[in-house]
Structure 1
Amino acid sequence: MAASDAQKAERAQKMLLAGATPDVAAALTGWLGRLAHERRLSPKTREAYARDMTSFLLLLGDHLGAKPDLPALAALTPRDVRAVIAARRAEGIEARTQMRFLAAARSFGRHMEREGLGKVGALAAVRAPRIPRTLPRPLSPADARAVADPDTRAGEAREPWVLARDAAVLALLYGSGLRISEALGLMRRDMPEPGRGDQILVHGKGGKTRMVPVLRAVLEMVAAYARACPFELEPQKHLFRGVKGGPLSPRIVQLAMERMRGSLGLPDSATPHALRHSFATHLLGRGGDLRSIQELLGHASLSTTQIYAAVDSQTLMAAWKAAHPRAR
Structure 2
Amino acid sequence: MQEFLIPAKPDLQAARESWLKMLARERRLSPETVEAYERDTRQFLHFLTSHCGGSPGISDIADLRGFLAARRAGGAGARTLGRGLAGIRSLLRFLERRGLVNAAGAAALRAPRQPKSLPKPLTASDAKHVVSVEGQLAEQPWIAARNAAVLTLLYGSGLRISEALGLSGADLSSPDETVLRVTGKGGKTRLVPVLPIALRAIAQYRRLCPYHLDPKGLLFRGARGGPLNPAIVQRDMAKLRSALNLPDTATPHALRHSFATHLLGRGGDLRTIQELLGHASLSTTQIYTGVDTARLLEIYEAAHPRA
* Residues 63, 84 of structure 1: 8 Å contact kept: no
- Whether 1:62 aligns to 2:45 is no
Q: Does 1:247 align with 2:235?
A: no
Taking structure 2 as the reference length, the TM-score comes to 0.94
How far off its partner does 1:72 sit? 2.2
Query: In 2 relative to 1, CA 226–108 (structure 1 residues): closer, same or farther, beyond 3 Å?
Result: same
**CA 1:302–1:63: 2 relative to 1, 3 Å:** same
Match 1:188 to one of 144, 152, 169: 169
Aligned to 1:311: 291
Paired position in structure 2 for 1:167: 148
- Residue in 2 aligned with 1:5? none
Does the Cα contact within 8 Å between 1:192 and 1:198 map onto a contact in 2? no
- The residue type paired with residue 317 of structure 1 is L
Residue 120 (structure 1) shift: 4.4
**Greater helix share, 1 or 2?**
1
| Alpha-carbon distance, 1:44 to partner | 3.3
Say if 1:90 and 1:173 are closer, same or farther in 2 by CA, change over 3 A.
same
Q: 2:114 aligns with which of 127, 131, 135?
A: 131
Give the residue type in structure 2 aligned to 1:249: N
CA distance in 2, matches of 1:44, 1:312: 29
Q: For residue 296 of structure 1, what is the amino acid of its counterpart?
A: L
Q: Report the residue type matching 1:106 in the other structure.
A: R
Q: 1:264 aligns with which of 244, 248, 257?
A: 244
Instruction: Determine which of 88, 100, 110 is the counterpart of 1:105.
Output: 88
For the residues of structure 2 that align with 1:289 and 1:236, how far apart are their CA atoms? 36
Unaligned segments of structure 1, at least 5 residues: 1-7
C-alpha distance in structure 1 between counterparts of 2:14 and 2:229, whole Å: 34
| 1:48 pairs with 2:36 | yes
- Which is further off, 282-291 or 60-69? 60-69
Q: CA separation in 2, counterparts of 1:242 and 1:157? A: 13
Query: Contact conserved, 1:112 with 1:118, CA < 8 A, in 2?
Result: yes
1:236 and 1:38 map into 2 onto residues whose CA distance is 21
The answer (yes or no) to whether the contact 2:138–2:144 under 8 Å persists in 1 is no
Correspondent of 2:281 among 285, 301, 317 = 301
| Higher mean displacement: 253-262 or 46-55 | 46-55
Q: CA deviation at 1:38?
A: 4.5
- Count of matched residue positions in the alignment of Structure 1 and Structure 2: 307
Q: Distance in 1 between matches of 2:288 and 2:255?
A: 13
Contact 2:7 2:56 (C-alpha < 8 Å) held by counterparts: no
1:197 to 159, 167, 177: 177
Cα distance in 1 for partners of 2:188, 2:286 equals: 21
- Identity rate, percent: 57
C-alpha deviation, 1:45, in angstroms: 2.4
**Residues 147 and 33 of structure 1: is their aligned pair in 2 closer, same or farther, counting only changes over 3 Å?**
closer
Q: Counterparts of 1:243 and 1:36 in 2: how far apart (Å)?
A: 27
Q: Give SS of 2:306's match.
A: helix
TM-score normalized by structure 1?
A: 0.88
2:29 counterpart letter in structure 1: L
Cα deviations by residue, 1:56-92 (Å, 9 ceiling, x for unpaired): 010121122222222322xx3xxx3232112222333
Deviates more, 1:276-285 or 1:44-53: 44-53
Contact 1:40–1:206 (CA under 8 A) maintained in structure 2: yes
Following superposition, the deviation at residue 168 of structure 1 comes to 1.1
Higher relative contact order (CA 8 A, sep 6+): 2
What residue is the counterpart of 2:135 in the other structure?
152
